[in-house]
Amino acid sequence: PNIVVAKDGSGQFKTIGEAIAAYPAGHQGRFSIYIKAGVYDEEVKIKESWPNVLMYGDGIGKTIVTGSKSGTDLFETTTFACAANDAYGFIAKWITFRNTAGPTGQPAPAFRSQGDESAMFECSFEGYQDTLFYQLKKQFYGNCRIYGTIDFIFGYGEALIQNSDIIVRKPQAGHFNVITADGREHQQDKSGLVLQNCRIFPDNSWSPIGLNVKTYLGRPWKAFARTVVMQSYLDKFIEPEGWTAWDNTSNHKTCGVFEYSNRGPGADTEHRSKLFPNFKVLQKMEAAKFTVDSFLAGETWLSKTGIPYSPGL
């Protein structure tokens, strides 16, 4: 690594912020920061002028970046993530990003990215509302864990989450859970969200069935929201309707919500919501448009990162 961060003083820096700030002007190539095990309670931000940062830790639950930032509305979330990436070519591995703000009904992202061609591998993103903000551009999440309650995977970038655990937590009393909220605004936008070969299940600390808490795969945050859940395991707590509308909008009439080749007791599409005229169970040829190589052009960049991924269906 270029820099080692350690709470105990055994590295060059004790905080991640100091390490990132040491990014040399005009640096070419990968800039790697090894963050030793510990809890780092600080706001981490990779500025646009610091491309190709690789941040890696000692593993999920060992290297923990945390904070309790929350905002009162979705627009504040651009400044409220515990960790944020604005730069091209960012990679994170073996780190937990945790927002401890709790399920009190306010957006509280643990991580956001708007740097193109960013990749997160074997990381955990822990929060309640709006945990993971795929803000802009192409981003890949592989072998990750994502925890939350409401709209906890949301954004208007091009995001593909593969081979990951999507873990639904107990919401605030009287609330329902929604896993995704895509923000694609225009029909020509390339953006959207794909969950491929993921496992979607409740956190083992509560029983959604016993508490009569409804859990939906997603709802359309913007008019042309595009969300694909494919080749994934859906546990039985997913509502038979699958998808729900965004309050006081007609986004459900124009958005695209798609499923392909899912499995598990929550995967039956027979009773999916009739509110979505564009809902579709995709054919294989259609689903092929939402793979890493098609949707993210992974062959041109992800293949160069050394991160393992499945290029196709």
Catalytically active residues are 151
- In the DSSP assignment, the letter for residue 187 is T
Provide the pairing of β-strand 3-5 with 150-155.
unpaired
Tokens representing 233 are 């395991």
Contact 11, 37 (CB under 8 A): no
d(CA 217, CA 282): 16
- In the DSSP assignment, the letter for residue 23 is P
Tokens representing 190 are 């390339």
Of 57, 70, 191, 65, nearest to 130 (Cα)?
70
Q: How far is residue 197 CA from its own chain's centroid?
A: 14
The torsion angles phi and psi of 220, rounded to 5 degrees, stand at: -85, 110
Contact 131, 110 (CB under 8 A): yes
Specify the 3-state DSSP secondary structure of 229.
strand
Contact 247, 216 (CB under 8 A): no
Of 218, 241, 244, 235, nearest to 161 (Cα)?
218
Tokens representing 150 are 């409401």
Q: How many CA atoms lie within 13 A of 144 on its CB side?
A: 28
